[in-house]
Amino acid sequence: MTKNVLNYSYYPGCSLHASAKEYDESTQELFKILRIGLQEVPDWLCCGATPAHNVDELLSLSLCAKNLELSEQVEGDLAVACAACFSRLKTAQHKLEENPEKRKQVEYALDAPLTMDKPVKHLLEILAKDYGLEQLSSAMRKSLSGLKVACYYGCLLTRPADVPQLDCAEAPTIMERVIESMGAETVKWSHRLECCGANFTLSRPGVVLQLSNEILASAQRAGADCIMVACPLCHANLDIRQKDIEAASGTRYNLPVLYMTQLLALGAGVSAKKLGFDSMMVSPLPLLQEKGLV
């Protein structure tokens, strides 16, 4: 058993164990083949996502602080896949570091002192900075060349500017650099950072139909074959709702929406069967077969 190159504690979050199972599976497969250790944090809680911070800030901070404390039990920086979980955990860390009053309140709520030592990293940062783009390239077994990818960041990966600290807030390039190291071609398109409608998919779906339509239209205009995401909710809005969007706008898109780890794992040589392509509403299989990747 060869030793791991790097080791991380892992916070999958609720979506990755449910509607975004393929994001979790592909992440685990990718990291296994890259020999990066991922150990799930025991008994983790929901991060609270949008509902918590919208309703009660103390609840939101406490949930995240609890998760951060739980993660101290596992060695290695905390790896997070879901953009929303990432944003909530980083925000909590930021707020509790800056505001001693809030920190006291959370410690009271949890009835325990906070260490707040664990760096929280998104998978993109782990792959691009810790593992390294050159290493990633040398791990490529099946080049994704010929595949035109529109990298979709959404709202939370790089913003607000001082919280995630992942890349330049309004003009980031980290997703492009990561997928290009596997040979894919990325397109320059206008709606990389525009909102998909997020939680309105439950309360006001019309908003999602409008906003996500703009995103799909922009990707199509730019000549993309597929859209790459790092967020389960963005995926849901762009993939699950794509038929509704096509009906509402009268335009045919047929644009597969893939998680970044699905594409990266494919490039690293993981079998397509293990990457959950079947559970997606807009099947990527015809496209991948056409490009000789499956």
- Sites of contact with another protein (CB under 8 A): 161, 168-172, 190-191, 193-194, 221
Instruction: In angstroms, give the least distance from the CB of 220 to another protein.
Output: 13
What is the C-alpha to C-alpha distance for residues 274 and 294, in angstroms, rounded to an integer?
A: 12
- Which residue lies nearer to another protein by CB, 32 or 159? 159
Contact at 8 Å (CB) between 152 and 216? no
Measured CA to CA in angstroms, residue 256 lies from 14, 22, 25, 52, 53 at distances of 23, 14, 18, 31, 32
CB nearer to another protein: pick between 8 and 189: 189
> Least separation, in Å, of the C-beta of 139 and another protein?
28
What is the nearest approach in angstroms of another protein to the Cβ of residue 223?
A: 13
At its nearest, how many Å lie between another protein and the CB of residue 26? 29
Nearest distance in Å: CB 160, another protein: 9
Which one, 222 or 281, has the nearer CB to another protein? Answer: 222
Q: Give whichever of 182 and 215 is closer to another protein, judged by the CB atom.
A: 215
Q: Which CB atom, from 43 or from 170, has the smaller least distance to another protein? A: 170
